[in-house]
Chains A and B, each alone.
Chain A
Amino acid sequence: MTDKPTSGLGAVDEGPVSSDANSPQGAGAPANPDDHPSVAALMERFGEAVLHHEVTSGDQHVVHIDPARNREILGWLRDDPEQRFNHLADVTGVDFGGGQPLQVVYQIWSIPYRRGLRVKCLLELDSLEIDSVAPLWNGANWLEREVYDLFGVTFRGHPDLRRILMPHDYAEGHPLRKDFPLRGRFSRAEQTRRALNQDVERFYIPEERAIGREPQDVTLPTGSESDEGSASDG
C-alpha cells in the first residue's frame, strides 16, 4: 500500500490532514453588513480595521478584524451603548494546518440586545502574539490561558499566562496544533521517564512557594528543668 490511509485506524497515526483547499477566510457566504446592526456600526467606526465579514451556518455573522487592534475593537463593542457585548462567551483558537494563519476566535454576546457576533483574528504562524482581552473581561483569563497552552498564542498583557490543562513543565509543545501528533512528540518511554522524574515542588507556582516564612521559634522548657520540677514533687 503506497497511499496514506485517510480513514479507519491507520489514520490515527497519520494525524489530521491539513486542509489546504480551504482558506480560513471566505469559507462562509459574503454578507451584507446591514443585516447585523453591530457589523454595520463596526465598519462605520473602524473602517479598514474590519477586514472581512461573512455569514456561516445560515445566520451567524463573522467579522475578521486587524489583530493589532483587537483590544480596542472588542473594548468598543463591549462599552458602546448601542452594542453592549458584555458577555464574552468563548475565546478559542483554530488551526487549519498547512502553514495557514492561526485563528483566534471570540464569541461575544450582548445580553441587553440579545445578539451575538463572532470576531476572528488571523495570526501568522511566525508571530503568534495578540493583545489579551483579560483587562476587559475577567473571564478571558482562563480562556486565553487555554489557547496559550494548546495553541501557543502569546497574549500580551495577560495577568497570569501559564499552562492550564497540560502540566507546567510540559515540553512537547502545543497539542491542538495540526502538526502535533495525537500521541505526543516524545516516545512513550520518554513520556514515562519524565512522568516518573517529576519534581513535586514544581506543582506550585513561584508565588505560592513564597507564601509564609520559616515557622516561628517556640522555646519549650528544656528537659532537665522539667525533670527537676517533677522530682521535687515525688
Chain B
Amino acid sequence: MAQKTVEFTVGRNPEMGIDGLPTRSPLEPFEVGEPDLDSEHMLINIGPQHPATHGVLRLVCELDGETIVKVTPHIGFLHSSFEKLGEYRTWNQIVPLTDRMDYLAPLIYNCAYVMSVEKLMGIEVTERCKVVRLILMELDRIFSHLLWIGTTAIDVGAFTPFLYTFQERERIYRMHEAYTGGRITTSATRIGGMLAELPEGWIEDLKHFLETFPNTLAEVHRLLTNNEILIGRTQGIGAITPEDAVSWGLTGPNLRASGVAYDVRKDNPYYDYETYDFEVPVGEHGDCYDRYLTRMEEMAQSVKILWQALDRLPDGPINVPDPDISLPSKTDTMSDMESMIHHFKIITEGIKAPPGDCYFPVEGSKGELGMYVVSDGGAKPVRWRVRPPSFVNLAAISQMAEGHLVADLIMINASLDIVLGEIDR
C-alpha cells in the first residue's frame, strides 16, 4: 500500500475568520471505502512481557473487532529443564528444584515431591511429620490464594484488596522465613522428614495468624464479593461446562467452580485428610466469579483444617528414626563415628530407591499436583515428572475465551490462577 501523507496548516486556525470570529467552512468528507466488517480479522499479540499475563506468557489472539475468535497461548519462555536436571541429582537434591517451580506455594511442591518418593521407597513418616506437612500445605494454599485475589482484583481495577492480601501474605512469608530461612525458596522437606523441628514460638505465630486472618478475609469479602465492577467483569465470563472442564483436565478450584466436586483431599486422601472435618466448595456456573468464590471459601476451609491440625499435632520425632534415610544431628555427626559415617554416606551417595514407579497426586493450590517418579534402583531418578496443574488448566483458555472481549481475556487468564514457573518448568 502506498504511503499517504496528510498536510496540516500549522499556526493558523482555518475555521477562524480575520476578526477572530468563527466562520463556517464546508466540511470536506473523507472518501472512505465501504468497510468490509464481517471478514476482517486482526492479529494481536499480548505478552510475553505484560503485567496482565501474570508471568512470561504470550497470547496471540485473533480478533473480530474486539471479540476473540481464537487465542493461542505460547509458553516455554521460562523453561529451565527442571525435569532433566532432576535426572542428574540424588533424590534429596531435587527438593530445591521443586519450590522454584511454583514460587507462590513452594511448600506444597516440597511436600508433594517427598511424599511421592517416600511412597516409592516405602517409607512411613512419623505422625508429627504428617501433621506438620499438612499444616504447611494448608498454609501455602492460603498463601497462594491470597496472591491470586490481590492480583486479580488489580486486573479488574480494584487496588485496595491487593494491599490487604499482601499484608497477610507478608505474615506467612515471615513464618516461612522463621522455619526454613527462605521466604520463597523454602526447600523445607527431606526424604523421611523435614529439614528441622518447628522453631520455638512458630505454633503461637500460626495461631495468632489464624485468629486474625478471618477478619481480613471478611474485609476482602466486603470489598469484592458484592462489588458491582467485579460482578460485571466476572459473572458469565469464561464459563465452562462440567463436561468440558473434565475433558480439558481442569483440576482444583477451576474444576470445582464448574460444579465437579473432585478434590484429591477427599477423593484420594493422603495424610488422614479423610479424618478432618472440612468441606469442598463447589461452584455452579463455572465462570470467573464462581472461581473467585470457590477460592475465597477454600481459604476459610483451610483455616478450619489448620485449627484441627494444630489440635492434634503430636509430640515426638519429626524425622524417621532410620539412619539410612535421615541425617543424624550435627552434634552426633561431630562426636560419634557411626553417625559421621551415615552422614557421609547419605550426603555423598544419596538414598537408594527400589526399582519401580510412583504417581502421587496431592491437592495443590492450583489443582491436582502429581509427582511421578521412576527409579531403576539407584540413588538418582530415571525420570521425575511433575503433573503441572497450571499447565493443564491454561490449555483450556482457548475454549474459555472464545467469543469474549479482549478485556475479558485478561480476566479469564487471571481467573485460572496460573504460575508460569511451573507451566514452563
B21 CB, min distance to chain A CBs, angstroms: 12
**A51: Cβ under 8 A from any B Cβ:** no
Interface string of B39-77 (1 = CB under 8 A from A): 011110000000000000000101000000000101110
**A57: Cβ under 8 A from any B Cβ:** yes
Residues of B within 8 A of A204 (CB): 43, 60
**B167: Cβ under 8 A from any A Cβ:** no
**B395: Cβ under 8 A from any A Cβ:** yes
Secondary structure call for the B interface: loop
B17 CB, min distance to chain A CBs, angstroms: 7
Identify which of B104-112, B171-179, B319-327, B371-379 touches chain A: B371-379
> From B7, which residue of chain A is reached at the shortest CB distance?
A223
A184-213 with Cβ < 8 A to chain B: 203-205, 208-209, 211-213
With A111-B246, A166-B79 as contacts: A89 and B12 at CB distance below 8 Å: no
**A44: Cβ under 8 A from any B Cβ:** no
Interchain CB contact under 8 A, A220 and B4: yes
Secondary structure call for the A interface: loop
Interchain CB contact under 8 A, B43 and A7: no
B389 CB, min distance to chain A CBs, angstroms: 10
Residues of B within 8 A of A125 (CB): none
Interchain CB contact under 8 A, B41 and A212: yes
Q: How many residues on the A side are at the interface (Cβ–Cβ under 8 A)? A: 75
With A58-B119, A138-B249, A234-B18 as contacts: A90 and B88 at CB distance below 8 Å: no
Interchain CB contact under 8 A, B248 and A19: no
With A and B bound together, what is the CA distance between A28 and B18 in angstroms?
98
Identify which of B23-31, B153-161, B300-308, B405-413 touches chain A: B23-31
**A92: Cβ under 8 A from any B Cβ:** yes
Interchain CB contact under 8 A, B84 and A88: no
Contact of B76 among A8, A114, A167 (CB under 8 A): A167
**B216: Cβ under 8 A from any A Cβ:** no
A163 CB, min distance to chain B CBs, angstroms: 8
Contact of A94 among B81, B382, B399 (CB under 8 A): B382
Residues of A within 8 A of B370 (CB): 89-90, 107
Residues of B within 8 A of A17 (CB): 378
Contact of A211 among B42, B84, B120 (CB under 8 A): B42
With A and B bound together, what is the CA distance between A62 and B357 in angstroms?
10
Contact of B372 among A107, A142, A163, A164 (CB under 8 A): A107
**B282: Cβ under 8 A from any A Cβ:** no
Interchain CB contact under 8 A, A182 and B76: no
> From A145, which residue of chain B is reached at the shortest CB distance?
B395
**B33: Cβ under 8 A from any A Cβ:** yes
Interface string of B380-399 (1 = CB under 8 A from A): 10110101000110111001
Identify which of A32-40, A68-76, A225-233 touches chain B: A225-233
Interchain CB contact under 8 A, B75 and A165: yes
With A and B bound together, what is the CA distance between A142 and B387 in angstroms?
12
With A and B bound together, what is the CA distance between A141 and B249 in angstroms?
10
**B36: Cβ under 8 A from any A Cβ:** yes
**B317: Cβ under 8 A from any A Cβ:** no
With A and B bound together, what is the CA distance between A214 and B378 in angstroms?
60
Interface string of A1-36 (1 = CB under 8 A from B): 000000110011000110101100001100000000
Identify which of B95-103, B139-147, B348-356 touches chain A: B348-356
List the interface of chain B (C-beta within 8 A of A): 1, 4-7, 9, 12, 14-18, 23, 25-26, 28, 30-33, 35-36, 40-43, 60, 62, 72, 74-76, 79, 81, 83-85, 87-88, 90, 119-120, 122, 244, 246-251, 260, 262, 267-268, 348-350, 355-359, 361, 368, 370, 372, 374, 376-380, 382-383, 385, 387, 391-392, 394-396, 399, 424-425
The 3 closest A-B pairs by CB, nearest first: A139-B249, A230-B14, A19-B376
List the interface of chain A (C-beta within 8 A of B): 7-8, 11-12, 16-17, 19, 21-22, 27-28, 56-58, 60, 62, 86-90, 92, 94-97, 105, 107, 109, 111, 114, 116, 118, 137-143, 146, 150, 163-167, 175-176, 180, 182, 203-205, 208-209, 211-221, 223, 225-227, 229-230, 233-234
Selected A-B contacts with CB under 8 Å, 30 pairs: A11-B88, A16-B382, A21-B377, A56-B357, A57-B120, A60-B357, A87-B249, A94-B385, A107-B359, A111-B267, A114-B268, A137-B248, A138-B248, A138-B399, A139-B248, A139-B249, A142-B394, A143-B249, A143-B392, A165-B425, A176-B383, A208-B43, A212-B40, A216-B33, A219-B31, A226-B7, A230-B9, A230-B12, A233-B23, A234-B12
